[in-house]
Amino acid sequence: MLANSNAYLKEKNLIGGEWVDADSGETLSVNNPATGETIGTVPRSGKAETARAIDAAAQAFATFRKTTALERSKMLRRLHDAIMDNQEALAQLLTQEQGKSLFEARGEVGMSAGYVLWFAEEARRSYGDLVPSPWADRRIMVTRQPVGVIAAITPWNFPSSMLARKIGPAIAAGCTSVVKPASQTPYSGIAWGLLAEEAGIPPGVINVVTGSASEIGGEITRNAKVKKVTFTGSTAVGKQLLKQCAGTVKKVSMELGGNAPFIVFDDADIDRAVEGAIAAKYRNSGQTCVCTNRFYVQSKIYNKFVDKLAAAAGELKVGNGLEEGVQQGPLIDMKAVETVEAMIADATKKGGKIVAGGKRHELGGSFFEPTVIANAKPRMKFTKEEIFGPISPVYKFKTEEEAIDLANNTEYGLAAYFYTRDLGRAFRVSEALEYGLVGVNEGVITTVEAPFGGFKESGLGREGGHQGIEDYLETKYVCVGGLGM
Ligand code: NAP
């Protein structure tokens, strides 16, 4: 299917139920990273459009906050159905603007629907408390209510599901939203506006603006009507937004960068570890916040693991994500290719040995070979920096203690993985790892039912799980006195 025949390719912003252009009429082009072709344009909105979107969300909140949990739950169920009824069209659009394989794009859209369904269920369970009172004539009630207008800023690597984790709990809690998708993948974000209309969600409950990140982000963080900012993206931008939010003391949720370790102990099932490694590394061409950044392999099995990982990486089918059987699409842009190349050059200069891939793919453009680098050392760049590309550096370690120290030696703390068949070690290591998500003998662990989020500089707050609605709710204590008892 051609992008321009896709029902979900909408080249407008949604503000207060109206589909609009930027005030200036200016646009941004959106390219398909697999072909370099322009798919279309979206409005280059800025401060004024964002302020109007916030006003629309504030106006909608006045009535939306009074809807019942059951009504909102039903809206979310309809939203879930609208997504699943159109999974294929949404996946095609996602692959065209982002590059990931259609298989992964279908999975991401399914995951979006999964989050929405989960929060349809959670909407009805945001219980309060009746607390035993120290006074005979007073009662203590603790209730939950929506925080109000929230603003969501999301990255290009999961343009659909990162919004699902924010829009889902926002609606469940009774909040209204202003959403700013990434400029390289705006259509999957704008599609949430179309889907909301299909699901009968009232105008103004979801508003979508595309365009200048600094202008939109500036207005969102400055405007006192916005009560909460939820951001998924790089740690650098997250820190900047945190500072900007301080001025109006907004609530914040931050899903930031990662530097995931993947530890393989001598006693592991090596084939299972290799299978997990491929999924944890090369999914989305290595461009996920939970992708393995550092493989630590115990000395006895080091060579065997490296050989098997190199062989498996060499078998991955690289190509346009729309083609059948493709497992790894292009990187998002040429800048990403240059970053990956610089990391490989740095590693080889410092003694790293390329045992698979290592260069641009013969398909050209931003396609890159799945790469494995043996003999990785702490002084190499990727030990500290997020790779965000298909490189597997493999380090050697001797003891369990050493592996834990190496794994924790980073300012990040999002995801970690390790493989062992020793039950005691499984508990020891999982408790010692300073990470928000830990996979034991599993390389892909994200699911709507579990909380997702990081320790340290990987973020604040959790998305998904029963925890995922917390940040969208205020807690209110009401003391009812004068009961004359
Ligand atoms: P990014 O550069 O931080 O951009 C993320 C979003 O922030 C985009 O919408 C971007 O807009 C916007 N933005 C950039 N500068 C801004 C500013 N000054 N004010 C307001 N908004 C601004 O990150 P990315 O490169 O798209 O995404 C990759 C990063 O996201 C990685 O570090 C990855 O680990 C992280 N990530 C984390 C999670 C998680 O759950 N922890 C999940 C996925 C990704 P434009 O597109 O218009 O520039």
* 3 confidence band (pLDDT: 50, 70, 90): low
* Cα 220 to Cα 151: distance, rounded to the nearest angstrom: 7
355-401 residue pLDDT tens:
999 999 999 999 999 999 999 999 999 999 999 999 999 999 999 99
Instruction: Take atom 39 of ligand 1 and give the residue whose Cα is closest.
Output: 255
- Please tell me the distance between residue 182's alpha carbon and the centre of ligand 1 in angstroms: 7
State the average pLDDT over residues 145-154: 98
* 485 confidence band (pLDDT: 50, 70, 90): confident
Tokens 């790894």 correspond to 328
Q: Which residues line ligand 1 (CB under 6 A)?
A: 153-158, 162, 180, 182-184, 213-214, 217, 232-234, 237, 240-241, 255-258, 289, 386, 414, 454, 459
Instruction: Take atom 13 of ligand 1 and give the residue whose Cα is closest.
Output: 213
pLDDT at 1 over 50: no
Closest atom of ligand 1 to 184 CA is 46
233-250 residue pLDDT tens:
999 999 999 999 999 999
Mean pLDDT score across all residues of the chain: 97
- Please tell me the distance between residue 353's alpha carbon and the centre of ligand 1 in angstroms: 32
Residue 255 is a catalytic residue: yes
- Please tell me the distance between residue 420's alpha carbon and the centre of ligand 1 in angstroms: 34
- Please tell me the distance between residue 366's alpha carbon and the centre of ligand 1 in angstroms: 20
- Please tell me the distance between residue 237's alpha carbon and the centre of ligand 1 in angstroms: 7
Closest atom of ligand 1 to 210 CA is 47
Closest atom of ligand 1 to 332 CA is 25
Residue 289 is a catalytic residue: yes
User: What tokens were used for 133?
Assistant: 């009172």
- 259 with 294: CB under 8 angstroms? yes
Closest atom of ligand 1 to 212 CA is 47
Q: By percentage, how much of the chain surpasses pLDDT 70? A: 99
172-226 residue pLDDT tens:
999 999 999 999 999 999 999 999 999 999 999 999 999 999 999 999 999 999 9
Q: Which residue out of 97, 289, 291, 457 is catalytically annotated?
A: 289
Q: Is the pTM of this model over 0.95?
A: yes
Closest atom of ligand 1 to 220 CA is 20
Tokens 């931008």 correspond to 237
Candidate from 50, 157, 456 with most ligand 1 atoms within 8 A of CB, to mutate: 157
